[in-house]
Amino acid sequence: GPCPKCKHPIKIPKATGDVTIHEPSKPAESSQSGSMPTAPIVFEAESFSPISITILLVTGVLALLAAYTSGKVFIADSGEPSIPFLLQALTAFFIAIPCAKVGYTVMRDKELEPYKGRSLTIRVLVCSIIYAALWYVRGTIGIENPEIWQWTFLAPLFLFIGGLTAVLSFDIDWGVGVSHYSFYVILIALMRYLAGLHPPL
């Protein structure tokens, strides 16, 4: 009929096509079967294989035997062990490498992604060089048999530098870093003791 106001006939537009109403899309985290379309990321804890543990144990025993043997082979005229300095320095460095690697693997934060490949190799080498350098500095201090009161000044200094080295090298906590360096100190002291060198530290 006509419009009440303008008196013109009212025209109703015709439908141009069918209107299709689609269902709401399903969330991305579900599939047709109701399960997640992609597999979740599984956390894999890094651990030592039995072969790796065996190799480490055998290597450690051989290193201790080599230290004991060197103390018997290199003897000065006074009868005391006189191991060449270069051999001691190389031993301090090469012992630091497995100590740094194994110590990091055992003591690192398991919630963080571990360093691997070239990045880990560089960090281990830098840490090992500094650990060996600390051993050299300790030998140049000139204190043959430090007393307990002297260690109260020496030990915190070396533990601070060694712990800081581990913290900066492997992004670990301070307490863990000190333990990491202490692991190396204990092993190198044991080797010096077996070689008959005094003082062992």
pLDDT of amino acid 197: 83
Half-sphere exposure of residue 68: CA atoms within 13 angstroms, side-chain side: 8
Per the CB < 8 A criterion, the answer to whether 109 and 170 are in contact is no
The answer to whether residue 48 sits within a structural domain is no
The answer to whether residue 146 sits within a structural domain is yes
| Phi, psi of 169, rounded to the nearest 5 degrees | -80, -40
The total of structural domains in the chain comes to 1
The answer to whether residue 118 sits within a structural domain is yes
pLDDT of amino acid 94: 94
How far apart are the C-alpha atoms of 138 and 57, rounded to whole Å?
Answer: 28
The answer to whether residue 140 sits within a structural domain is yes
pLDDT of amino acid 16: 64
pLDDT of amino acid 58: 92
Report the chain's terminal Cα–Cα distance, integer Å.
Answer: 111
How far apart are the C-alpha atoms of 191 and 201, rounded to whole Å?
Answer: 10
Provide the 3-class DSSP secondary structure of residue 84: coil
Quote the domain boundaries for residue 71: 53-195
Neighbouring-strand partners of residue 9: 2
The answer to whether residue 94 sits within a structural domain is yes
Q: Which residue type occupies 123?
A: R
**Could you tell me which of 30, 83, 52 has the C-alpha nearest to residue 198?**
83
**How do the pLDDT tens digits run along the chain, 201 residues long?**
677 777 677 777 666 666 677 666 655 555 555 555 555 555 555 666 788 888 888 999 999 999 999 988 988 877 788 888 899 999 999 999 999 999 999 998 888 888 999 999 999 999 999 999 998 888 777 666 667 777 778 888 999 999 999 999 999 999 999 999 999 999 999 999 999 887 665
SS (H, E, C) 18-78: CCCCCCCCCCCCCCCCCCCCCCCCCCCCCCCCHHHHHHHHHHHHHHHHHHHHHHHHCECCC
How far apart are the C-alpha atoms of 173 and 25, rounded to whole Å?
Answer: 47
The answer to whether residue 37 sits within a structural domain is no
Cα angle value 162/168/174 (rounded, 5°): 65
